[in-house]
Structure formats: structure tokens, C-alpha cells
Chain A
């Protein structure tokens, strides 16, 4: 991940749901109450970069951390089952526009082997399909599949299209 990678920055600011374990004074502005404190057990959506650090750092003399992370939508069982049944018909872009980066960040925290295997399977299936579409440079693509790609897949599709075009041009 590069410091200047705009996709990484966007993925980092993706909001995920979390729950506060303790009452924190002065943090009320997070839920729209400036000047007030944030209560224990408040559920709130925080950007990933903030949630991550709050979830792993522990409070002094206490085993608890500031917040608990609640499983976000993109790793819900519904979506995992959808991936298992048919990877190519999922609208990844609708679920989360930076799916793979988010999964990566999530699994770095929780070391979820099953989830990683699932998303690797997803990537393999979909990249094969992307390659098929990218080879078809002359005809316009009439499939909705292209609109369901996440940002990484979009770039992959664009680059392979470009290289196939160059190859076709050279072969002429």
C-alpha cells in the first residue's frame, strides 16, 4: 500500500459500525451532540482508520478496549453465501467499492482465514471472467457484469483491455 494510493485512502475512510465499551467525555460530536459525552454501548459508525486504533488499543488498568467492532455488511453471512454460490453475479461495487482492500484490512485485524479463502476464491472466479470480457475489445460490452466490478477489478479490466488493444494493433 502506497502512501499516495488514493484507493487505499478511500478504503481507509470507509465507515464501519462499532459500539463504545465505555463512556467517553467530549466525544459527543461523533454522533452529532457537540460538547456532550458519548455514552457506553452507543452504536456508531466510525471510519476504519479510527475504529482500528480504538479497537486494538486497551484502556489503562483494564483489559477492555474503547470500542467493539460489529461485523460490517460486506462480511455478513448473506454475502459470503452469495459468493459461494455464484461469484460472478454479485454486485461488488454496490456492496462496497473497495471490497478487496477492505477485506484485507479487516483480516489483518481479525486473522479470519475462512473469509480470506472466500475472497481469494471470489477474485479467481471474477478475474477469469474479467479477462474474458477484456479480450472482447471490438464489440461493445452489453453485460451488466462490468458495472458490478470493484475499484481494483475496474483497473484490472481497463489495463487488460488496453494491452489487448495494443496487441491487436500490432498483429494487423
Chain B
């Protein structure tokens, strides 16, 4: 009740970004460190210049102390994203396959580890912006087709789904309620028929 109604059943972009920090990511440590056992995960023993997979939040802490380099994921470079962008243009009616949290990870990289990226930040920033916009245009177009029963979100990322959620859920709920007013009568009648037979 205390939570504002628009936040009930919905996450803010900051919260999604926080959740994404649990993703595993490859780092290249510069120092050695013993294994740490935590309740949720355990951080493996780190040896200098030996690649290791750790949760993103650990990587960010080490990075901020300049104790490691983060290896960007395969898809986080200009060429790959450019290909995806071309694919988006080619296939006007579907979304290209990007990781579920591509927006969050890119943002975290751009903010905290931009020196680890192969391409310049500006290039990445602009291609991400382009990608985001073309996908947004597509999802907008999809909103025209809203109905009371289902919505298809194939290929959309977590952040993109969250972006349209506050709009889509009330509208679909309302459509369903309106739709149900007449359907239920019919069903009730047919139920009665069955009962009498």
C-alpha cells in the first residue's frame, strides 16, 4: 500500500540493472586473490592474468579498484551490433536475437569499463541508440495490435519489456474485462444447457 501504484508489480530500470549484476562475466585479474565462499555464489580463486568467471558485481568492484580488466561479451562490439542493426532493418516484422539483458549490460560497460571495450564508446553508444530506436518503433507498431488474450514478445529484452509493461498490462486487463462481460454470459448459458440435458 505504501508503494506507489505504478511501482507495484513493476520494476524500475535501476532495479533491473541491479538484477543484471548477478550475470557471470569473464575477467582478467591483475592480482591474485583467494577463493571466497558467499551464500549465493562463490568467487573462484583468482590468479593474475588468468581468465576467470565471476559475477558482474564482483567484476565491477575489482574494476573500480583497477584490479582487473573485464572481458566484454562476444556480442558487445560495434561490428556485431551493426550486423544486428542491419538484420533489424531487413526483417521488418521480427526482433533480432540479442541477449535478454543487452541494454543493461551495455550501459554498465559504458559507465564503468569503457576502456575495456574494443571500439570507442561513441561508436557503441550510437549503434546501441540506433538499435534501441528501431526496436522501439517495432514494439510501438505491435501495440496497435493489442488484444484481450495474448501478446507476443519474442526477442525483446528485459528492459524493453519493462518499458512497455506499465502501458500494456492495464490496457490488456481492461480489454479482457470488457470482453469477458459478454463471453461469460454465453458460457453460462451453455453451461445451463448442459445441466438441463
> Is A6 positioned at the interface, with any CB of B under 8 Å from its CB?
no
> Is B146 positioned at the interface, with any CB of A under 8 Å from its CB?
yes
The DSSP consensus for interface residues of chain B is helix
Q: How many residues of A contact B (CB 8 A)?
A: 32
Q: Is the CB of B166 within 8 A of A159?
A: yes
> Is B13 positioned at the interface, with any CB of A under 8 Å from its CB?
yes
Chain B 156-197 interface residues, beta-carbon cutoff 8 Å to A: 159, 162-163, 165-167, 170-171, 174-175, 177-179, 181-182, 185-186
- Measured CB to CB, the closest approach of chain A to B78, in angstroms, equals 19
> Is A162 positioned at the interface, with any CB of B under 8 Å from its CB?
yes
Q: Is the CB of B166 within 8 A of A162?
A: yes
- Measured CB to CB, the closest approach of chain A to B1, in angstroms, equals 10
> Is B114 positioned at the interface, with any CB of A under 8 Å from its CB?
no
Q: Which residues of A contact B32 (CB under 8 A)?
A: none
Known: A159-B5, A162-B166, A163-B6. A170 touches B17 (CB 8 A): yes
Q: Which residue of A lies closest to B184 (CB)?
A: A108
The listed residue with most B CB atoms (<10 A of its CB), out of A104, A124, A130, A163, is A163
How long is the Cα–Cα vector from A146 to B35 in the complex, in angstroms? Answer: 58
Q: Which residues of B contact A169 (CB under 8 A)?
A: 13
Chain B: number of interface residues, binned into ranges: 20 to 34
Known: A103-B178, A120-B178, A160-B166. A128 touches B148 (CB 8 A): no
Q: Is the CB of A113 within 8 A of B166?
A: no
> Is B14 positioned at the interface, with any CB of A under 8 Å from its CB?
yes
- Measured CB to CB, the closest approach of chain A to B108, in angstroms, equals 11
Q: Is the CB of A131 within 8 A of B175?
A: no
Q: Is the CB of A108 within 8 A of B181?
A: yes
Chain A 120-163 interface residues, beta-carbon cutoff 8 Å to B: 120, 123-124, 127-128, 130-131, 134, 152, 155-156, 158-160, 162-163
Q: Which residues of A contact B175 (CB under 8 A)?
A: 120, 123-124
Partner of A159, one of B17, B146, B170: B170
> Is B12 positioned at the interface, with any CB of A under 8 Å from its CB?
yes
> Is A100 positioned at the interface, with any CB of B under 8 Å from its CB?
yes
Q: Is the CB of A163 within 8 A of B166?
A: yes
> Is B45 positioned at the interface, with any CB of A under 8 Å from its CB?
no
> Is B144 positioned at the interface, with any CB of A under 8 Å from its CB?
yes
Q: Is the CB of B170 within 8 A of A120?
A: no
> Is A88 positioned at the interface, with any CB of B under 8 Å from its CB?
no
How long is the Cα–Cα vector from A111 to B179 in the complex, in angstroms? Answer: 10
Known: A159-B166, A166-B13, A167-B163. A128 touches B178 (CB 8 A): no
Q: Is the CB of A167 within 8 A of B13?
A: yes
Q: Which residue of B lies closest to A113 (CB)?
A: B182
Contacts beyond the supplied A163-B10, A167-B159: 16 A-B pairs with Cβ under 8 Å: A100-B178, A108-B181, A111-B185, A113-B182, A116-B182, A120-B178, A123-B178, A128-B144, A130-B167, A155-B170, A156-B167, A156-B170, A159-B170, A162-B166, A163-B167, A171-B13
A-B contact pairs, 18 of them (CB 8 A): A103-B178, A104-B181, A107-B178, A107-B182, A113-B182, A119-B178, A120-B175, A123-B171, A130-B167, A131-B143, A134-B167, A156-B171, A159-B6, A162-B166, A163-B165, A166-B13, A167-B159, A171-B107
